[in-house]
Structure 1
Amino acid sequence: MTISDLKSGELIILECISGSRAYGLDTPSSDTDIKGVFLLPKEDFYGLNYVPQVNNETNDIVYYELRRFVELLSQNNPNILELLNTPEEAILYRHPFLAEIKPEIFLSKLCKDTFGNFALSQIKKAKGLKKKIMNPLDRERKNILAFCFVDYAQGAIPLLKFLEIRKWKQEDCGLVNIPHMKDMYGLYHDADGGYRGIMKDECSNEVALSSIPKDRERIALLYFNKDGYSTYCKEYKEYWEWVERRSEERYQNTLSHGKNYDAKNMMHTFRLLEMAIEIAKEGRVNVRRPEREFLLAIKSGEYEYEELLRMAEVKQVEMEQAFASSILPELPDVERINRLAFELRERFYARK
């Protein structure tokens, strides 16, 4: 099922502008995100064609089937609670029946975890980007030779340096295991090419072992930092996947403010924490943010990363205290929610 199918079949029962434009945090370059709810035809819902979600390729247009929508509301999912509480000016269409799905039916102390954890995830994302910016990886991938070291004089030097000093090729070297010494090998050399080399090819993930005659003299001990190589491979893959899928505009904005962290993630951290505090104290979800100037100041990089972390810790404590004294129920009333979802669907189908 596609978005076109939803529209042509008149299945959409809620459609809203979401994201920065709903929060009141949009700027001239902001995209327009759309979220909504649809109702599957009766035969698809009760048959084998249930579809919980329909979205476009970039996920900036997403529609949830009514059952999935209510399910996520009962879990106090931040994005879905925001959708339910979209400001009137950002609602493109809402079926009158949906007026019965009231926020107070769903709000509970579970929001402390859902909004709080979501906020913390934004900090981790911002920190992850900071690490990638500060530690870029060369496009040319290192091979295992860069993670090998040889005992030399009274210490150790990188294998590549050792080969350079000896004017040897790695293909003319041979390795043998040394029992009881993890990732340690005996290093031998044969200028006539009688060994298998230290690695088979550039893509090798393991060193190559050779059959060495017992009368050959060992040149040195070689250590292969296998754990370090594995970590590097993982980070290399993650880094270049991130480069390929990153928003170039957002990345350039991060570079331009010079703080080396994803300011947009940090902005959402404070938005989520403030919303959680309001939910605990007021029992409502305020999507449009009154602290617009403060949040946009974060987005533009006016604060240092460490300063924001300290401020976020203070807000987190405030959130914990707000929920500790909140009159919200511990969890949503699932039985009531289930009845409501059933009755609404029956009413929708009865009108078809």
Structure 2
Amino acid sequence: MSEGRADNLPPNFLIPVGSQVVLRYDRRVPGTDVVKPAGTVGEVVEAPESNDRPYLVRFLDGASFRLKFGELLVRRGDHTVEATATAGPDVSAFVVYRVMVGSRAFGLATESSDEDRRGVFLPPADWHWALTKPPEQVEFFTEGVEEVDWEIEKFVRLALQANPNILEVLWSPAVLHTDETGTELREMRTAFLSRHLYRTYSGYVLSQFRLMKRGFDTNRHYKPKHAMHLIRLLHSGIYALREGDIRVDVGEHRDELLAIRRGEVPFEAVEARALELDRVFQEAFASSRLPEKPDTERANRFLIAARRRRV
């Protein structure tokens, strides 16, 4: 029996061009000694008519080579977590943890920066017992403030997947509110860290790189914000893999990042910097001491205990 796929796709599914895919196994770049480790994210640039033939996959460093369907997993949705947020009921009374994120937490705020807040809410048991279940995620806006709140189980699941946006919530230096449950969640945050972080950060980096390059290829201009987040994510990912910790405040790179955001750095220089940092990122992954998997059992115990407080 063949090994099951984590993306649950049938063997005849054709991966569309433009899809982000993840290497299931280490693969050597043809004609070189470079090895792309399992978990590396690439983009399908050419798809076959059937899965009897390989796909052409391009990686952030420009390397392209052909890989079979069985060597790839389709990376679904990690980078669009916040895009799926919808307006919902007022959950503010049930928020157990709220922080500041975005430029104010990154150490990159300017006078015009908005305030971005993220929170975790723990609804009462009645909400789960009712026919209409609580939302997994809600968002709302007031003047100059945007807030996204996740239901606690959804948040824990995303944290176990090493979603960068979620990890930044747990490590944000700007805590606005926390109760007993929120404090416990923050104190157990290292349980969510694993080498899987390489895959998720790679996916986010590739998304930003693709957005930046697409704009430049179209009109010889790029969006500085995409470029800035690309470099910021690489700095953050390198630190996480090396130190086993998440550093949200990237103030030590403030001059570099703000110069990019202001559009003062040519595309070619940003691209070269991204490729340089990506090589460092891969080296950090190779030597990282993070565990292979997060501590799911600890996360499960926390979630059950939190739920019992609302019964």
The superposition leaves residues 134-153 of structure 1 with CA deviations (integer Å, 9 ceiling, x where unpaired) of 5xxxxxxxxxxxxxxxxxxx
**5+ unaligned residues in a row in structure 1: which ranges?**
135-259
Answer whether contact 2:91 2:121 (CA < 8 A) is retained.
Answer: yes
SS at match of 2:290: coil
Answer whether contact 1:109 1:330 (CA < 8 A) is retained.
Answer: yes
SS at match of 1:13: strand
Does 2:196 align with 1:110? yes
Answer whether contact 2:88 2:135 (CA < 8 A) is retained.
Answer: no
Answer whether contact 1:22 1:287 (CA < 8 A) is retained.
Answer: yes
Match of 1:32 among 115, 121, 125: 115
Amino acid paired to 1:36:
G
Quote the residue 1:56 is aligned against: 140
**Which one has a larger percent helix, Structure 1 or Structure 2?**
1
SS at match of 2:91: helix
Does 2:53 align with 1:91? no
The superposition leaves residues 198-255 of structure 1 with CA deviations (integer Å, 9 ceiling, x where unpaired) of xxxxxxxxxxxxxxxxxxxxxxxxxxxxxxxxxxxxxxxxxxxxxxxxxxxxxxxxxx
Match of 1:300 among 225, 242, 262: 262
SS at match of 1:291: helix
The offset of 1:110, in angstroms, is 0.8
Larger Rg: 1
- What is the CA–CA distance in structure 2 between the aligned matches of 1:341 and 1:4, rounded to whole Å? 22
Answer whether contact 1:103 1:284 (CA < 8 A) is retained.
Answer: no
- What is the CA–CA distance in structure 2 between the aligned matches of 1:284 and 1:45, rounded to whole Å? 34
Query: Aligned residue pairs: how many?
Result: 220
- What is the CA–CA distance in structure 2 between the aligned matches of 1:107 and 1:65, rounded to whole Å? 20
Quote the residue 1:6 is aligned against: 91
Does 2:299 align with 1:337? yes
The offset of 1:80, in angstroms, is 0.5
- 1:36–1:344 CA distance, 2 compared to 1 (3 A): same
- What is the CA–CA distance in structure 2 between the aligned matches of 1:46 and 1:74, rounded to whole Å? 25
Quote the residue 1:280 is aligned against: 241
Quote the residue 1:20 is aligned against: 103
- What is the CA–CA distance in structure 2 between the aligned matches of 1:123 and 1:291, rounded to whole Å? 19
The offset of 1:326, in angstroms, is 1.0
Answer whether contact 1:281 1:326 (CA < 8 A) is retained.
Answer: yes
The offset of 1:97, in angstroms, is 2.4
The superposition leaves residues 73-109 of structure 1 with CA deviations (integer Å, 9 ceiling, x where unpaired) of 000000000001110xx22111132222222101111
Amino acid paired to 1:20:
S
Does 2:31 align with 1:70? no
- What is the CA–CA distance in structure 2 between the aligned matches of 1:305 and 1:106, rounded to whole Å? 35
Amino acid paired to 1:5:
D
Q: TM-score, normalised by structure 1?
A: 0.59
SS at match of 1:34: strand
Amino acid paired to 1:287:
V
The offset of 1:2, in angstroms, is 5.6
Amino acid paired to 2:198:
K
Quote the residue 2:127 is aligned against: 44
Q: TM-score, normalised by structure 2?
A: 0.66
Match of 1:318 among 275, 280, 286: 280
Answer whether contact 2:125 2:307 (CA < 8 A) is retained.
Answer: no
The offset of 1:56, in angstroms, is 2.4
Quote the residue 1:79 is aligned against: 165
The superposition leaves residues 253-279 of structure 1 with CA deviations (integer Å, 9 ceiling, x where unpaired) of xxxxxxx21111111111111111111
- What is the CA–CA distance in structure 2 between the aligned matches of 1:331 and 1:305, rounded to whole Å? 37
The alignment yields a C-alpha RMSD, in angstroms, of 2.0
- What is the CA–CA distance in structure 2 between the aligned matches of 1:67 and 1:323, rounded to whole Å? 28
Answer whether contact 2:123 2:310 (CA < 8 A) is retained.
Answer: no
Does 2:225 align with 1:270? no
Which structure exhibits the higher relative contact order, with contacts defined as CA atoms closer than 8 Å and separated by 6 or more residues?
A: 1
The offset of 1:57, in angstroms, is 6.7
Quote the residue 2:74 is aligned against: none
Amino acid paired to 2:90:
D
- What is the CA–CA distance in structure 2 between the aligned matches of 1:27 and 1:3, rounded to whole Å? 31
Match of 1:120 among 182, 191, 206: 206
SS at match of 1:17: strand
SS at match of 2:90: helix
Does 2:130 align with 1:130? no
